[in-house]
Structure 1
């Protein structure tokens, strides 16, 4: 009797929504409203160009969310009366930010590792939040509805980019054909997002009984599917059958049939308008490129213009047709009897058939048998899918080079941003990529084998543990947790071959959902421990989270201030404000974030320029100071090399300038500009010695040039071994000016 009463009390608590749950929902509401305006909190900060600095502020808007989440975690956990397995999992999760903190003493790039450390704390906070909120099913349902609502708005808004009503740089890109990238400005990321919405749609269509809610989901099915087709994401098309098979294995036969019918019809309807919409997108893309080429502002068109309204009507009409089909099917669904099919292995029938159909479809596609059925843009894109294409070969090269890089720091990695800091040195040819295009590789490089086993192994354990409980019927209202398994699984599967997890939006979603699954591990532990020991452990964890919240508050405040100071200094520079005001802004920012590479680079450049113009010793001293600080903070960055070279040139120290270029050729072996600059400098010295009749030094300079050319030729020879399918943006051939120098020297 007491056991039954206890179970009823637990179920009532699960269905109740208190103040804490509403506050948690509010925080997720803020997160969901913020991310579309911040490029999905893309962690695109880096050291290769000034444009990467743009993303620093974007990622910190996401990191900022970790502070109130940690406070909510503290408020919830402090009331815990017993220790459960989920609490121990929450403690173990702290190992991830701990790894980044350890690497802060030895990171390949201190700047990127600090961002990664802050980001890992934020993700850890969402993971623990998922664990603690897991018991509140009503809150979880509201979160799914809210996520879907915001997601639907994003999908609808994204058609505005396609039809020219709105403009965002790279919301439309051209690769084989025009591709819709939306607010992510990356087609594969948008595709991954659309797959999460598709999973929610088909799940809700087959589980919600209220007709109005069902139709609200139904009307979005075609817009989601046609948007997915417009991304032309081969990775998404490859992963979609895998995700579908996993999803179908988790539901009964009736729901499997409904899901399959809805998705097939939705894609057939989407294919009927995909070609027309793609042509409209191509026209908009060409218009944008024409404006940009002419240095003119990009003009948008009215919603009611003829170029726009027909596209909107196409999407709306097909969406309504799909909604009507769903209405009819759902109305007569229960009248179809499936009792004779409800055998033990019935759930395997459709997934097995889907596997066979997927294989047959892929073979037919490769044979060109589907070309007459599919739209031209889609068939051409999918026909190019093979292991001998540029994108696939390039990814394999990334992975091969990554493993070479990883061997330098096998156990705990090189800290956050290791790939960004070192990929130039280890690359097999002159590609440009700030991402290794795999979450597993990224983890391996940043946190080593320990981090990879912790995160990938931890995720796998929690997913398997949840599935075990799910199939054993040990989870109350278990179907309400299915989406919290499918959403992270779909993102993680796609992230094996791409960098969706670099978007904190996706990373937050994954860590939170995995936390929800971990929250089902409710077996009591340490039951025999004394109350004082329980409280000691509990307040120890509370203290840990409080320290993390304070650290994150200080870190984000400093990051925002430094970012603002740097941005303001650039505005003052363009406005030709007094020199001391510029440097005051930068130095104030540097006090907040010591070692900030962009601030140090700008200070070094400002003082070097001032010294060049005036020759004042104080400017030289400061230029040397900030250049040395930059080299010390980011020794692997081209920012450091350029600052070192600029200062040496200003000081007319040719030996130091030559040394800077030698370092550059070592660290950036396929950056042709460094080879050419080194040759130009050596040639100028050669001319000087020629005029002075100094044959010994003249010969020394010529020998040095020959060595540079030999080094270039040796590396260029490696490029001849590459597949003809590989295309690289950066050239590795001599300019006409360099050719003329080499011709004069008879090299």
Structure 2
């Protein structure tokens, strides 16, 4: 019976294709891997600060995709299964396009749509370029060597020979190594992928010098991984090893574990000294101060650190290189008979599970074993449990993500939705612009339909790879490196935001494409169509997509450049407003949905009005608020601008409705509660001589908001012991003053005294505190009591405040 989708060696796999276009794409991918990681790994933080490098990355990638599209005009075949896989990859950005229709942030949705098209482009690039063995080998080495550069650069920051902002991140337990990522957990995911792939390459490469190079880097990678203090990475590594081992012959499985143990033991042998040296260097350089201080390599501290790292790395590389041939041959011979049994591939993984469980039990139960590690690392390992604050916080993020998704179930809330509206759904006042899970962030952004598309695509790719890998043993090779790297990052990204680093995201999808590229899976029924001219539709579509993406992104880049130019003229060159505005207006015209551009102009219009009292600036403010409200209705800073503007122009109804809307969107924002309680009191106070009923309604609403604050404070006390509350949330002096005034007007004098006594010993330089004390003293007087000492203290403070005011006015 004829198979529907046979897999056979592609002619291109063994050809010596020297197409300049093909090599141009390979060269472009190599440049990307060595250059763009140093742009904070292309982190997509959904803020203006990170957008410049992202636009450069997308422009570069669109040009690369265009070159590939032109190349495909010559080589693409209609019966090639890669066509369907390419459409599968493109279905993900297509889902982002659909979700952008009702996105909660038009700009974020547009940016994510562009980035997802680029990520899909990397999958297509890997799929069509790595079909040639030579090209695949170049890309494989480029990924690993560029990764090794990142690792060494991270160690240079650790030992003080280089300075990259937040390459050492100051956390509660000291400095955590982050290298170019500025976030230790995502760096740990990257290191995990490099370490597991490096082990594979050390075993399978045919050249001794590459084996030496990969072996040499195992210790620096593992040391760096331990110095990230990432617990999740340590938890995931055993599971990843269990997935990888069945892909290897039994002899190679044993060799993989032997080299791994040698690398880990070698690293632990020097880890305490490296950690101690790094701490001493950190005290000297104070990396958190961002002063950019460095030390010479020949300084005794870094020299001692580097000597240990390089010395043990050279020793390990020498041992592995010299013993590999004989050990590998001996293991293959010794396991030949066992390898013939069907269950042989799971024998070593099963043994690994047993040994791993025993080793884990020893580490967690034996203080003597943990004492061999630096105290900070031992404490992190000991704290691995389900009650630690990072686990509890992630659990909260995930529950809140499901609550958000319930309101946008099918297509999601658009790209970047979590960072825009997570506060509406949050359980407690934490601050996290990232969902800390790639899959749940996808759910939030493109809904259940989009998540199914993503998971279906990933499942199809891995299924096809595993099927082809099993059925074509003669084609097995280093494509497993791409499998290891992509799988390691995707698994870790289930509990962190690794895929928000577009460098990692591109790396994953490049690997997904490259690992399938050598297998020429054909669809026989479509072979007859290969000679038809309309087969060129796919290369034409790829080329057109690249062109559209290029010009689309270039416009956004142009807006970014103009906005930066406006800022430079304003802050550095101190140019007048009329010279600055043309650049800013151009940025807004190109990208009217960008909140930073419009909010900046709003701020400048406000300053201009305060200086000139020219009504045209007020009119421009209202116009900008209305315009941005359409594109970013949940933007917190816009709510603040809207509230302040309508308060200044005296539109009380809009002020109160703005506050109510803000409190619905930001139910844990203490500042909005403060504004709401005070404004409802003030507007009620204005109306008490006109309509006492309206006064009562407004004052009662103020009291309701105050009660809501008290209820939420009480709720925060019920959080699990290990879970951090997040942002501050408490009753402020302004809230107490407003409520105290309401109580006083309702002759609830004892309630006034009880409420305000908390602040009578506060800082009298604060006008709100002085107002509270006034109300407190009035309430005392109303019940026939007085506090002479407090009255004298208040009088003295007000006299001092008046003198300070007169000095300022002079």
TM-superposed CA distance for 1:493, in Å, is 0.8
Is residue 22 of structure 1 aligned with residue 23 of structure 2? yes
Q: Which deviates the most, 264-273 or 644-653?
A: 644-653
Distance 1:693 1:95, change over 3 A: closer
TM-superposed CA distance for 1:153, in Å, is 1.6
**Contact 1:488/1:509, CA 8 A, preserved across alignment:** yes
Distance 1:335 1:659, change over 3 A: closer
Cα offsets for 1:283-335 (capped at 9, x unmatched): 4444555973xxx8342222222232211111111112212221332253256
Report the equivalent of 2:420: 421
Is residue 156 of structure 1 aligned with residue 157 of structure 2? no
Any idea what SS the aligned residue of 1:128 has? helix
Report the equivalent of 2:551: 554
Q: Which deviates the most, 61-70 or 24-33?
A: 61-70
Of 287, 293, 300, the match for 1:306: 300
Distance 1:335 1:610, change over 3 A: closer
TM-superposed CA distance for 1:392, in Å, is 0.2
Any idea what SS the aligned residue of 1:179 has? strand
Report the equivalent of 2:135: 139
Report the equivalent of 1:200: 197
TM-score by length of 1: 0.92
**Contact 2:79/2:530, CA 8 A, preserved across alignment:** no
Report the equivalent of 1:439: 438
Of 308, 323, 328, the match for 1:329: 323
Q: Which deviates the most, 660-669 or 93-102?
A: 93-102
**Contact 1:430/1:730, CA 8 A, preserved across alignment:** yes
Of 349, 360, 367, the match for 2:347: 349
1:654-693 matched pairs, under 5 angstroms: 654-685=652-683
Distance in 1 (CA, whole Å) between partners of 2:312 and 2:101 is: 57
Report the equivalent of 1:646: 644
Any idea what SS the aligned residue of 2:175 has? strand
**Contact 2:168/2:178, CA 8 A, preserved across alignment:** yes
TM-superposed CA distance for 1:395, in Å, is 0.5
Distance in 2 (CA, whole Å) between partners of 1:736 and 1:281 is: 45
Distance in 2 (CA, whole Å) between partners of 1:494 and 1:645 is: 42
Report the equivalent of 2:538: 541
Report the equivalent of 1:227: 224
Distance 1:611 1:335, change over 3 A: closer
Report the equivalent of 1:391: 390
Distance 1:502 1:324, change over 3 A: same
Distance 1:478 1:209, change over 3 A: closer
Cα offsets for 1:616-656 (capped at 9, x unmatched): 22212211111111111100111220221231233233433
Cα offsets for 1:122-165 (capped at 9, x unmatched): 11111111221242111111111122222212111111211222
TM-superposed CA distance for 1:99, in Å, is 1.5
**Contact 2:229/2:377, CA 8 A, preserved across alignment:** yes
Report the equivalent of 1:118: 114
User: Aligned pair count?
Assistant: 729
Distance 1:719 1:525, change over 3 A: farther
1:230-379 matched pairs, under 5 angstroms: 230-287=227-284, 289=286, 292=289, 297-334=291-328, 336=330, 337-338=333-334, 339-344=336-341, 345-369=343-367, 370-379=369-378
Distance in 2 (CA, whole Å) between partners of 1:55 and 1:301 is: 29
Report the equivalent of 1:75: 70
Distance in 1 (CA, whole Å) between partners of 2:78 and 2:703 is: 74
Report the equivalent of 2:787: none
Any idea what SS the aligned residue of 2:634 has? coil
Unpaired stretches in structure 2, ≥5 consecutive residues: 1-6, 744-751, 756-810
**Contact 2:643/2:655, CA 8 A, preserved across alignment:** yes
Cα offsets for 1:412-471 (capped at 9, x unmatched): 212101111110000000011111111110111111122212111111122112111211
Q: Which deviates the most, 673-682 or 492-501?
A: 673-682
Any idea what SS the aligned residue of 1:380 has? helix
Distance in 2 (CA, whole Å) between partners of 1:307 and 1:297 is: 20
Distance 1:662 1:284, change over 3 A: farther
TM-score by length of 2: 0.85
Distance in 1 (CA, whole Å) between partners of 2:215 and 2:247 is: 21
**Contact 2:428/2:726, CA 8 A, preserved across alignment:** no
Distance in 1 (CA, whole Å) between partners of 2:702 and 2:499 is: 45
Say which one has the larger Rg.
2
Distance in 2 (CA, whole Å) between partners of 1:334 and 1:115 is: 50
Report the equivalent of 1:57: 52
Distance 1:705 1:544, change over 3 A: same
CA RMSD of aligned residues (A): 2.5
Q: Which deviates the most, 321-330 or 584-593?
A: 321-330
TM-superposed CA distance for 1:530, in Å, is 5.1
Distance 1:517 1:158, change over 3 A: closer
**Contact 2:469/2:475, CA 8 A, preserved across alignment:** no
Report the equivalent of 2:785: none
**Contact 1:17/1:136, CA 8 A, preserved across alignment:** no
**Contact 2:167/2:180, CA 8 A, preserved across alignment:** yes
Of 500, 505, 508, the match for 1:507: 505
**Contact 1:108/1:418, CA 8 A, preserved across alignment:** yes
**Contact 1:569/1:585, CA 8 A, preserved across alignment:** yes
Distance 1:278 1:681, change over 3 A: farther
Distance in 1 (CA, whole Å) between partners of 2:587 and 2:562 is: 5
Distance in 2 (CA, whole Å) between partners of 1:262 and 1:159 is: 22
TM-superposed CA distance for 1:112, in Å, is 0.6
TM-superposed CA distance for 1:32, in Å, is 1.1
TM-superposed CA distance for 1:368, in Å, is 4.1
Of 699, 702, 710, the match for 2:699: 702
Report the equivalent of 1:621: 619
Report the equivalent of 1:634: 632
**Contact 2:14/2:133, CA 8 A, preserved across alignment:** no
Distance in 1 (CA, whole Å) between partners of 2:392 and 2:13 is: 55
Distance in 1 (CA, whole Å) between partners of 2:726 and 2:145 is: 40
TM-superposed CA distance for 1:659, in Å, is 2.5
Cα offsets for 1:144-194 (capped at 9, x unmatched): 112222221211111121122222232112243431011101111111111
Of 729, 732, 737, the match for 1:735: 732
Report the equivalent of 2:480: 482
Report the equivalent of 2:808: none
Is residue 726 of structure 1 aligned with residue 723 of structure 2? yes
Report the equivalent of 1:49: none
**Contact 2:168/2:287, CA 8 A, preserved across alignment:** no
Distance 1:27 1:335, change over 3 A: closer
Distance 1:21 1:551, change over 3 A: closer
Is residue 401 of structure 1 aligned with residue 395 of structure 2? no
**Contact 1:612/1:650, CA 8 A, preserved across alignment:** no
Any idea what SS the aligned residue of 1:299 has? coil
TM-superposed CA distance for 1:53, in Å, is 1.7
Is residue 40 of structure 1 aligned with residue 37 of structure 2? no
Distance 1:439 1:566, change over 3 A: same
Distance 1:704 1:14, change over 3 A: same
Q: Which deviates the most, 64-73 or 456-465?
A: 64-73
Distance in 1 (CA, whole Å) between partners of 2:604 and 2:218 is: 55
Report the equivalent of 2:185: 188
TM-superposed CA distance for 1:24, in Å, is 1.6
Any idea what SS the aligned residue of 1:527 has? helix
Any idea what SS the aligned residue of 1:94 has? helix
Distance in 1 (CA, whole Å) between partners of 2:430 and 2:685 is: 35
